[in-house]
Amino acid sequence: MSSSIQQYIDIYKQFGARIDTASSPVFNALRPAALAALEGRRMPVKGDENYEVSDLEAIYAPDYGINIDRLAATADTDEPFRCDVPNLSTSLYYVFNDTYPHAQQKLPGGVVVTSMNDATYHEIVSRHYGTIAPADNPQVALNTLLAQDGMLVYIPAGVVVERPIQLVNLLRANSPLMTNRRMLIIVETGAQAKMLVCDHTQSADTDFLNTQVVEIIVGENATFDYYDLEEASERTHRVSSLWVRQAAGSNVLVNGITLMNGTTRNDYHIDIDGQHAETSLLGMAIANNTQHIDNHTYIGHNVGYCHSNELFKYVLDDDATGAFTGKILVAAGSPRTEAYQSNRNICASSRAKMYTKPQLEIYTDDVKCGHGATVGQLDQDAMFYMQTRGISCQEARTLLMQAFMSDIIDGVRLEALRDRLRHLVEKRFAGTLAQCRNCTASQSCHTRIKKK
């Protein structure tokens, strides 16, 4: 049986000329290498290294449509999003499926946010596109083979961007659709910026395969925050790869938040290539029903005198499945490294499953490093205590789960977004998890009260 990749290879071999015509020379130049990397390959399946739970072969197997002729896509930007996009003062952009805006806003300091096909910035894009996301990775290679446009975010040296840049990705179609999104973010020496990316599905009854590759290059003494908020439908399959390269003295915060989804696989790969750099990698995942969330992370300390902190938290209910595989590598010749990794999880039902695999590899001396993982249930003593003081079981569960996620939210360096996320998380726990009267925690609470 041929792999799921083969159908996309066949599409490219049949329609390659049309794909190239609707794209730009920068994208087209990388397709031959991507095709060569995919020939004879398959997507990872359960049991492969770093894919203990996720089966990408099955995710890519269905026959999705692809918009190879770049037909205009539309979406309802006035329709209220179910997660209520934070009411921030931002420079706002939309992407409809994988169609990017060609008109650019004029931002201060020469900041550019535009289509990667914009000929004005061909030299910048060609110099950096595909330089840190490796072509031998099958997800990256397939995205590179089929992606026809992307979004460029360029922050010139020394520029401080006061207003966050916000990108709203909208999925909308009447039939199954595969989207191939690409983003290139360049933050030059001494620059500072924050970016919020929101993923939404407006066609809840349509199957989507949303693939995306994000490359972030952060220069010396630059600061960049990247917030990735997913609120997709249960019929949306997301495969996302984010690649970061940090120079000396840089400060990067990446915060991935999954509030609603179907099946999600996120890969975060951060290389610290300059001394005195700082990295914060945070993640929050909330899932119920049969939702699946898999986060795979890598932080490479390739030089010494750097600091990284990684924290991922999950709350799983019903028959949801979560997975976390995290690796921190401290390379030889990287002294005075400080690196910490933690994965903490709550299974709020007896059927929810969490798989966790923290990893720490150290090849040098004089470091401070630690890693660990926990999987547990809601604190029944705390549940009982709150109920004896008139708080319902459902309210008690919500309060405990909110408190559990508080340090992820506190890590957000945008006050307005931080406050909004508290509200969104409260809504998520209070409104979409299993009703208290059906949960095992409720039965346990009621039993204890009766005994008392």
pLDDT score for 77: 57
pLDDT at position 76 over 70: no
Half-sphere exposure of 286 (CA within 13 A, CB side): 25
Q: What is the mean pLDDT of residues 21-34?
A: 96
Alpha-carbon gap, residue 18 to 2, rounded angstroms:
25
Q: What is the mean pLDDT of residues 358-372?
A: 95
Quick one: tokens of 316? 């799983």
Alpha-carbon gap, residue 337 to 365, rounded angstroms:
9
pLDDT score for 402: 82
8 A C-beta contact, residue 362 and residue 341: no
pLDDT score for 431: 62
8 A C-beta contact, residue 403 and residue 372: no
pLDDT score for 104: 60
Say how many C-beta atoms besides its own lie within 10 A of residue 90's C-beta. Answer: 20
8 A C-beta contact, residue 182 and residue 116: yes
In this structure, which amino acid lies at residue 101?
P
Quick one: tokens of 285? 């995942």
Say how many C-beta atoms besides its own lie within 10 A of residue 432's C-beta. Answer: 14
- The per-residue pLDDT of the chain, averaged, comes to 89
Which tops the pLDDT comparison, 81 or 88? 88
Torsion on CA atoms 434, 436, 437, 438, rounded to nearest 10:
30
**211: confidence class by pLDDT, cuts 50, 70, 90:** very high
What does residue 337 show for φ and ψ, rounded to 5 degrees? -85, 140
**450: confidence class by pLDDT, cuts 50, 70, 90:** very low
pLDDT > 90 fraction of the chain, expressed in percent and rounded: 74
Q: How far is CA 312 from the centre of its chain?
A: 12
Segment 217-262, tens digit of pLDDT: 999 999 999 999 999 999 999 999 999 999 999 999 999 999 999 9
Place of tokens 């009703």: 435
Alpha-carbon gap, residue 13 to 169, rounded angstroms:
29
pLDDT at position 445 over 80: no
pLDDT score for 75: 61
Q: Is the Cα torsion angle 208, 258, 78, 154 positive or negative in sign? A: negative
Say how many C-beta atoms besides its own lie within 10 A of residue 2's C-beta. Answer: 9
In this structure, which amino acid lies at residue 54?
S
pLDDT at position 84 over 50: no
pLDDT at position 387 over 90: no
pLDDT score for 304: 97
